[in-house]
Each structure stands twice: as C-alpha cells, then as structure tokens.
Amino acid sequence: MTTNPISPTIALDQDGKHHGFLKLPYSRDDSAWGAIMMPITVIQNGEGPTALLTGGNHGDEYEGPVALQDLALTLEPAQVSGRIIILPALNYPAFRAGTRTSPIDKGNMNRSFPGRPGGTATQKIADYVQQCLLPLAEFVLDFHSGGKTLDFVPFAAAHIQDDKRNENACFEAMKAFNAPFSVQLLEIDNVGMYDTAAEEMGKVFVSTELGGGGSSSARSNAIAKKGARNFLIHAGIIKGEMEVAATVNLDMPDGDCFTFCDRDGMHEPMVDMGQRVKKGDVVARVWPLDRTGVAPTEYHANRSGLLISRHFPGLIQSGDCIAVVAVEVD
Ligand SMILES: [Zn+2]
C-alpha cells in the first residue's frame, strides 16, 4: 500500500500555538529535491473537540484565507478548549497561482476526494486530508466563494443527508455561522467533494459561498471572521457570546435553480444579486461579440425566488452557469 508522502513540520497534538507546514515532496525543473510547503497552524489547549478550518480549496477564493490568516495570528491557546487545525490554503499551488485549480496537475480539490496517496499533487493533498486530518476533527468548516467566474450573496450552507442526525447537526452549525443568508444546498456535481467526504465520515460540516469575482471585500471578510468565531463557539472550542444577526433562509430544491448559457458572448446581467425574480423573468442577456444589429439572447429564471449567484466576468461562454435562484423558506 502506498503511504502518503506529506509530512507536517509541527506536531498536530501539542498544547500551544504552532505554525508550520504540510510538506509535500515535489521534484521539478526549478527544484530537484523540492517540496510544496503548505502553511498550517494548530492551536490546542487541553481536552475538547477538534475543528478543522480550511480556505483556498479553490485557489481564487479569498474570504477563507483572509479570515483564517487572521485567526491563526490572533487566537491564543488560553482562549481554546480542544484543538483548532487551520489550513488557509487547502489547494496551496492553486492559491499561489490565483487560480481555481492547481497549475501543477489542473486538479480541482473539491472534485479530488478521497484522493490518492500515489496520485498527482492535488490527489495527494486530498488523500492526506481524508486519511490524516478529517479523522482528527468533529467539526469541519470549509470556506468558498465564487472565484473569478461567479459571484454569490454571502451564505453558509449545509446539505440534505441520509443520516438525519448528522444533517441536523450540520444545519445547527450553519445557523451558528450566521451568514446573511443560510442555504440548504443542492450540489449539481457532488462526486469527489470535500463536503461529501466529511459528511460520510459523520463530521459536523459547514461550507460557505461568501462573495466572488476573484477578490474579497471588507464586508465579506467580516462575515467570514464572525462566522468562524461563531462556529468555534458553537463547537464548544472557544468561549464567548455568539454575534447573531438576521439571516434569510433559502432552499435549492432542484435543478431549476440554475440557468446555463448556451452561447459565447457578452454578459448583460438584468437582475442584481439578492433581488427577487419570478419564473420566466429575464435574468441576463448575452450579446454577440462580433457584430451589431443582432438582438441579444435572453436567459430566464426557471423558478421564482431570490437571485443568489451570477456569472461574474463580462464575457461568457456556452456552458457557463449564468444565474442561480434560490427559494426563501422559514
Ligand atoms: Zn470554491
């Protein structure tokens, strides 16, 4: 059996605050005996549960890395009962390149689980998380945003699961995160997701979509920082009062939530995010790139609800997700 080549440069089970790296040997043209050095912080104090906090699962999403850098720097062991494992940039090569997927192997971390110890760099990282980090944790928080090609209203999300006890625990943790929106999320493509791996192990798992466009904002970063702190209070790992504001509860019941583009062109959003739409409303138009005098193609909402996500760049391709509509529930 192949063993995973990643080794931590710090102990993962010692009291105190330790900053180090997960070291993945990676021999290449510019470093014959080189390694990928993925930053990791472990903050531990005595008995208690473990939380695994990850950002940069996709390398062009920044609220998670910002909030987790801040947490790793400012949280002290005396404030902790248990352990917090912090990985601000899970797909570290992608994070360094500012791209969704890894520049080394084009690996999409969130389609690479459970990973392979003898596979590509992305598969090795996924395997290490699956075999070595997830088993240590009871609570798992994975930050996402839209990256360069999507934008989202800021939400925390949990999934419908077969295990209703764990499903309920995940929804409670999502509520504790207390983003402005809380979504019962339907995945269009859940095979290989970190989410699925964590849920199948019975972990209390929350993910987010906090913004997008390949950057972050003061508001979205504040939501990420507050959410991480609330999540850790909910887990019983840090003490304090949760900061709670109103949240809009949303459901994504089926594939009618998504509208996809079927031509290349220039994207004209017709509805801004957070606005209500009715089934059949035009959510976006796509103009030809190469001529004038031709009407744009209209794209419609397939159901009534709130626009929670849209294609971000000014240009769009056939096959791109152009808009996402979710349904308000209480
Ligand atoms: Zn993502």
pLDDT band at 185 (very low <50, low <70, confident <90, very high): confident
HSE on the CB side for 257, CA within 13 Å? 21
Instruction: Give the domain range for residue 316.
Output: 258-328
191/221 same-domain check = yes
β-pairing verdict for 282-287 and 265-269:
antiparallel
pLDDT for res 188: 66
Flag whether 204 is in a domain.
yes
Token digits for 36?
């990928």
Residue 16 Cα, ligand 1 centroid: separation in angstroms?
A: 31
Residue 56 Cα, ligand 1 centroid: separation in angstroms?
A: 8
Residue 309 has pLDDT above 70, yes or no: yes
pLDDT for res 57: 98
Q: What is the average per-residue pLDDT within 47-60?
A: 98
Q: What's the rounded Cα separation, in Å, for the pair 282 and 243?
A: 37
Token digits for 144?
């996402």
Number of domains in the chain: 2
pLDDT band at 22 (very low <50, low <70, confident <90, very high): very high
Please write the tens of the pLDDT for every residue from 89-115: 999 999 999 999 999 999 999 999 999
Residue 146 Cα, ligand 1 centroid: separation in angstroms?
A: 6
Residue 45 Cα, ligand 1 centroid: separation in angstroms?
A: 31
Find the CATH number of the domain harbouring 265.
2.40.50.100
183/288 same-domain check = no
124/268 same-domain check = no
Q: Which long-range contacts (CB under 8 A, 24 or more apart) does 33-40 make?
A: 36/92, 36/93, 36/121, 37/92, 38/87, 38/89, 38/92, 38/125, 39/87, 39/88, 39/89, 39/92, 40/8, 40/10, 40/85, 40/86, 40/87
pLDDT band at 1 (very low <50, low <70, confident <90, very high): confident
16/114 same-domain check = yes
Q: Which helix (H) or strand (E) holds 19?
A: strand 16-25
Q: What's the rounded Cα separation, in Å, for the pair 281 and 270?
A: 9
Q: Could you tell me if 237 and 52 are in contact, meaning their C-beta atoms sit under 8 angstroms apart?
A: no
Q: What's the rounded Cα separation, in Å, for the pair 52 and 21?
A: 15
DSSP 237-297: SB-S-------EEEE--SGGGEEE--S-EEEEESS-TT-EE-TT-EEEEEE-SS-SS-PPE
183/291 same-domain check = no
Listed residues 251, 273, 304: the one ending a domain: 251
- Separation of CA 128 from chain center: 18
212/188 same-domain check = yes
Token digits for 252?
């994504």
Q: What's the rounded Cα separation, in Å, for the pair 62 and 17?
A: 23
Buried b (16+ CB within 10 A) or exposed e, 65-83: bbbbbebbeebebeebbbb
Q: What is the average per-residue pLDDT within 27-42?
A: 97
240/314 same-domain check = no
124/82 same-domain check = yes
150/277 same-domain check = no
The whole-model pTM stands at: 0.97
Token digits for 254?
């089926």
Residue 64 Cα, ligand 1 centroid: separation in angstroms?
A: 10
Flag whether 182 is in a domain.
yes
155/201 same-domain check = yes
pLDDT for res 237: 98
CA distances from 316 to 150, 272, 287, 319 (A): 11, 17, 10, 9
Residue 186 has pLDDT above 90, yes or no: no
Flag whether 2 is in a domain.
no
Listed residues 251, 266, 301: the one ending a domain: 251
176/135 same-domain check = yes
Find the CATH number of the domain harbouring 152.
3.40.630.10
Please write the tens of the pLDDT for every residue from 267-299: 999 999 999 999 999 999 999 999 999 999 999
pLDDT band at 123 (very low <50, low <70, confident <90, very high): very high
Flag whether 1 is in a domain.
no
Q: Could you tell me if 221 and 67 are in contact, meaning their C-beta atoms sit under 8 angstroms apart?
A: yes
Residue 47 Cα, ligand 1 centroid: separation in angstroms?
A: 32
163/194 same-domain check = yes
Lowest mean pLDDT among 45-49, 183-187, 217-221, 267-271: 183-187
Listed residues 209, 233, 251: the one ending a domain: 251
Flag whether 301 is in a domain.
yes
Please write the tens of the pLDDT for every residue from 215-241: 999 999 999 999 999 999 999 999 999
